[in-house]
Amino acid sequence: MWIIGLKLNALSWEVAMRPGYRLYEPLFVLKPIAPDVWVADGGEIRMHLGILRLPFPTRMIVVRLPDGGLWVHSPIAAAPRLIAQVRELGAVTHLVAPNNLHYTWISAWSHEFGQARVWAAPGMSANSSTRLPKHELLSDTEPPPEWQGSFKQQRISGGPLTEVDFFHRKSRTLILTDAIENLDLKRFRSVIYRFVTWAAGSNEPDGMLPWELRKHFQTNRCYNRAAIDRMIQWQPERILLAHGRCYYQDGAEELKRAFRWL
């Protein structure tokens, strides 16, 4: 979440003890979305913005690759029952930190699944990078050979945010992180947080990239417009998000809508 005039170095995260956002229960449970695709909703994190502690729900995505290995996108807290369910699906072979804000629980998952390779988006700060286990950088558009047959990928970037987004070919599912936030205002317990989310333009049903980041993305407009157009051409059926309600139909149209400002 972003507000006018606030910068990335003023932000930090904490795990919320008392939820300020009504979460997407059941939590820490795998939920099937499409063949070989699951989501798991997690607890709440708080983003520090001055005196505010804005609540955010968390969500990760799990995809089973043709070789049986599991690809885990932006893992949430490593709750024991979730770890057990994932183990029942198979061995985690890839852990993905898709942008420079989504890496908090990578180390915990790497500890549980020591054989997994860790992948991170380019643009990680030195501080973020040191918090990750040994990792490899994702390219802008070329997936690693290990999952090239299963995914397409595309980098978008602007100012403090660099994110790599993924398209699962088999299920026609687009996987975004912060490129679209689609939060339900009614789920916030605080009127202040509802207003801040509305002002940022990241509330459902018209979820988008938060306002402050849009300005940065406009400075690199030609690149980002081409990147979004490429993802639209993939014709996703659904869009899975890290924050807020996902779009389970008309994925390409929702992507056009969410980036009409670019």
Q: What secondary structure letter does DSSP report for 187?
A: G
The answer to pTM > 0.85 is yes
The confidence score (pLDDT) of residue 93 equals: 98
CA gap 170, 192 in Å, rounded? 41
Domain 8-258 CATH (choose: 3.40.50.300, 3.40.50.720, 3.40.640.10, 3.60.15.10): 3.60.15.10
Mean pLDDT by 10 residues, the chain (262 residues): 36 52 95 98 83 88 98 98 98 96 94 97 69 91 97 95 97 98 92 90 93 91 98 99 97 98 96
The confidence score (pLDDT) of residue 127 equals: 56
CA gap 243, 184 in Å, rounded? 10
**Which residue, 246, 102, 225, is CA-closest to 157?**
225
Q: Which two tokens stand for residue 45?
A: 């994190």
Instruction: State the CB neighbour count (10 A cutoff) for residue 169.
Output: 12
The confidence score (pLDDT) of residue 168 equals: 99
The confidence score (pLDDT) of residue 18 equals: 61
Q: Which two tokens stand for residue 186?
A: 């009614």
**64 backbone dihedrals φ, ψ, rounded to 5°:** -90, 125
The confidence score (pLDDT) of residue 129 equals: 58
* Helices (H), ranges, the chain: 80-89, 106-112, 126-131, 191-200, 211-219, 221-233, 251-258
CB 109 within 8 A of CB 91: no
**Which residue, 1, 59, 46, is CA-closest to 19?**
46
Domain range list for the chain: 8-258
